[in-house]
Amino acid sequence: MAEVGTAVDDIDACVVSWLANFESSLKGRETSQAASLFTEDAAWRDILAFTGNMRTLHGRGSIEDSLKISVGRDDRFAFRISETVSVERNERAGRPAIEVVFRFDTAVGHGDGVVRLIQDESGMPRAWTLLTALSGLRHDLTRKSIPRPSEQAYEGADRRNWLDYREIEAAYTDHDPEVLIVGAGQCGLALAARLRQAGVDALVVDKHERVGDNWRKRYHMLRLHNEKGSNHLPYMPFPENWPTYIPKDKLGDWLECYAQSMELNVWTGTSCDAGSFDTETRRWGVTVSRGGRRRTLRPKHLVLAVGVSGAARWPAIPGLGEFSGAIVHSSDYTNGARFRGQRVLVVGSGVSGHDIAQDLYWHGASVAMLQRSKTIVASLRPGAEKVYAHYRSTAPLDELDLLNVSVPYPVKRERARRLTEEIGQLDSELIEGLNQVGFRTHTGSDGTGFQMQFLRAGGGYYIDVGCSQLIIERKVDVINAHSTAGFDAEGLVFDDGSRQPFDALVLATGYQPVSDTVAGLLGSAVADAIGPVWGLDDEGELRNICRPTAQDGLWFIAGGLAEARIFSRFLALQLTAEVSGIQLAGRR
C-alpha cells in the first residue's frame, strides 16, 4: 500500500492519493490499512455498495470490522473523481474539510460517493465522513427495459393503438406483477416509475378512486411547508412557474398526471384485504377487491407505500365518549364552513392541529387549542427555509440529493442542532410571544429541532404559516391539557371543577403506527418480526424503510416527496437485483 497521502496543501493531489490508497486496500483485502485511512471518529454511510444495505458505520474500529465481513476476494473496485464536480474546501457542522464527489465501479454496478478529508496531527488527510452509494447495476446483468410496441406493430391486422396496448398491459389478465405496490402516493408512484425504467413489472393498487386523492381529500387549506425545489419526483420536475409551496389539490393533480405520463400500471378503487407469503414458491398471495370483484395476486415482492402511520388515533381522554357535540378526526376534516359561529376545540398542536385551527378561525368559528405536550415551532420564513436552502442551488438535482444523503447521522444531528440554534435566534420574538400566552415550546429532546423530529417520530412540530400569530393575539386560545380532567357532555372539565363548553371537537391526535396496518394485512406474527417502521435505529438509519426486512419479499417506502425521490432509487435497485438474480455485495 502507498503512503497515506500527500499534505492537504494540494487538495486535488491528496484526494487522488486517498482514493488510490483506499482502492488498493480494498482490492488486497487489507482491511486494517483501509481503516487506517479514516479518523478515529469517522462515519461511513454505505447504501448497497459494500454492505448490501443502508448502514452507517461509526468509528474506525467498526469500519474495519465491517470491511472484514463485506469485502470479498471477487469484489472489484475502481475509484475516480467526478468529472463534473470540483474538489473544494467546505465546512460541515462547523468542521472544515476537503469535500469531493467521486465515482466508483463494483462487480455488479457503479456508484457515487462523497468523501470529506481532514488533516490529522501529522498533516496527512484522513476521511472524516464517507458515503458510498450504489447508483446503477451493470446493464449486462439486468433485463432490458419494458418493450414498447414498434411503429410496425400499430400497422398490424389487429389495428391496436397505444391505448389498446396500455389497457392490456395494465389489466394483468394472464399474469401477475413481479412487484405489487400498495399505495399510490408520492412514494408508491416514484418507486413504480423507477421500476418501469428498469424493466421490472410493477402494479400499484390504491383504495382511492383517483390517483392524488390522498392529497385532494385532506383539509382545505393544506399546502406543502417545504419548498418546491426539494420536492421534485424522478424524471419529471415541477414546472418552473409553479408556486414555491405547492397546494394540496395542485399536487394531487400532478400525481395523477405523473402516473399517466410515466405509463404506470395503477388500479384505483382497489382495497388490499389480506396477504401471506408462500415459502415454497417464494411468492405472495395478496387478495385485493376491485369493482366488486376479488382477485388474488401472486407477486414476488410486496411493497407497502402507505406512509409512516396507519389508522386514525383516537386519544384515551376521560369522558370523551360522553361529549354530546360533533367529534371529527383530522383525517376526516375538510374545511371549517360547517363550524361557522360554533365553539370548536382542536385537540393537538402539531402541523394538522395548527392548520385546522387557522382554517376554523378563517371560517368564523370560536377556536381553542388543547395542547397536550410541548411543540417545536419554527417560522416558515426565515426559519424553516434555512433547512431547505441546500436545494436552492443550481447544481443538478441528483448531485444535491447525493450531498444530502452523504451526511451521516452524527454530522446531521450536529448540523440540525446548529441550525435550530440559529433559527431560534431569528424566531426569538415569535417563541416569546407564544410562551407568554401559555403555548409551550421546545427545540427537541436534544435541541435538534423539527428536521430530526420528523425523522425520529414523524410529527410533533409546526412550521408557522400564520397560526402562531393568531395564538399570540389570542384569536386562537390555548388550553394546557395538564390543567384538565377530561370531558363531559357539554365540553372540557378542568382540575378545579370548572367547565368550558364547546359545540364540536376536532381531534388532531395523529395516527396508529404502521405496524398495526401490517398486522391487519399480513398478521401479527409478521408485524412482530419486522418491528417498528420509521424512526431511527442505533446507526441513525430509518428503520425498515427501503431496506430488507425480517420478512422475505416485504418492503416499505415512506416519507415526503424528497424521501420518495431519493430512496425510491435505492429500493428500485434492490428489487431490480432481486428479480434479475443479482447478489449485491454484503448479502452473502
Note the pLDDT of residue 4. 43
Q: Which three cell numbers stand for residue 247?
A: 397546494
Taking a C-beta distance cutoff of 8 angstroms, is the pair 456, 289 a contact? no
Contact 518, 533 (CB under 8 A): yes
* CATH no. for 163-310+512-580: 3.50.50.60
What's the alpha-carbon Rg for the chain, to the nearest Å? 26
- pLDDT at residue 150, rounded to an integer: 57
What's the half-sphere exposure (Cβ side, CA atoms, 13 Å) at 230? Answer: 20
Sign of CA dihedral 80, 86, 91, 93: negative
* Beta bridge mates, 79: 104
Crossing angle (nearest 10°) for helices 186-197 and 248-261: 20
Residue partners of 429: CB distance under 8 A and separation at least 6 = none
In angstroms, the CA 259 to CA 273 distance is 23
Which residues lie across from 131 on neighbouring strands? 45, 114
Assigned C-alpha cell, 60: 474506525
Q: How far apart are CA 340 and CA 440, in angstroms?
A: 28
Per-residue 3-state assignment (H helix, E strand, C coil) for 337-373:
HHHCCCEEEEECCCHHHHHHHHHHHHCCCEEEEEECC
C-alpha distances out from residue 409 to 44, 406, 451, 454, Å? 10, 10, 12, 14
117's CB contacts (< 8 A; 6+ apart) are 8, 14, 15, 18, 97, 98, 100, 125, 126, 127, 128
* Residue 396 pLDDT: 92
Spatial separation of the C-alpha atoms in residues 298 and 276, rounded to whole Å = 10
DSSP 26-54: HHTT-HHHHHTTEEEEEEEEEEBSSSSSE
Domain positions in the chain: 11-137, 163-310+512-580, 314-509
H/E run at residue 286 = strand 283-290
Cα distance between residue 253 and residue 242, in whole Å:
13
Contact between residue 102 and residue 82 where contact means Cβ atoms under 8 Å apart: yes
Fold assignment, 314-509: FAD/NAD(P)-binding domain (3.50.50)
Closest CA to 571 of 194, 108, 230: 194
In a 3-state reduction of DSSP, which class is residue 294?
Answer: strand
* Contacts with 421 (C-beta within 8 Å, 6 or more apart), sequence order: 447
Residue 57 · residue 72 · CB < 8 Å: no
Q: How far is C-alpha 559 from the chain's CA centre?
A: 3
Q: Kindly state the cell numbers that stand for 64.
A: 474495519
Cell 438535482 belongs to: 397
Residue 53 CB partners (closer than 8 Å, separation 6+): 46, 547, 548, 586, 587
Instruction: Give Cα 367 distance to the centre of its chain.
Output: 33
Q: How many CB atoms lie within 10 A of CB 196?
A: 19
Residue 19 Cα to chain centre, angstroms:
31
Same CATH fold assignment for domains 163-310+512-580 and 314-509: yes
How high is the pLDDT of residue 82? 81
CA distance 331 to 95: 43
Would you list the DSSP string of 117-140? EEE-TTS-EEEEEEEEEEEEE-TT
User: Which of these CATH numbers, 3.40.50.720, 3.30.930.10, 3.40.50.1370, 3.10.450.50, describes 11-137?
Assistant: 3.10.450.50
Say if CB 454 and CB 462 are below 8 A apart.
no
Contact at 8 Å (CB) between 319 and 493? yes
Check: pTM over 0.85? Answer yes or no. yes
Mean per-residue pLDDT pooled into runs of 10, the chain (588 residues): 48 88 90 95 96 95 89 72 77 88 92 93 89 93 64 64 92 97 98 97 98 94 91 97 96 98 98 97 98 97 92 94 97 95 98 96 98 97 90 91 95 96 97 98 95 92 96 98 96 97 97 94 97 95 97 97 97 97 82
Contact in structure between 206 and 187 (CB atoms under 8 Å) = no
CB-CB neighbours of 27 under 10 Å: 15
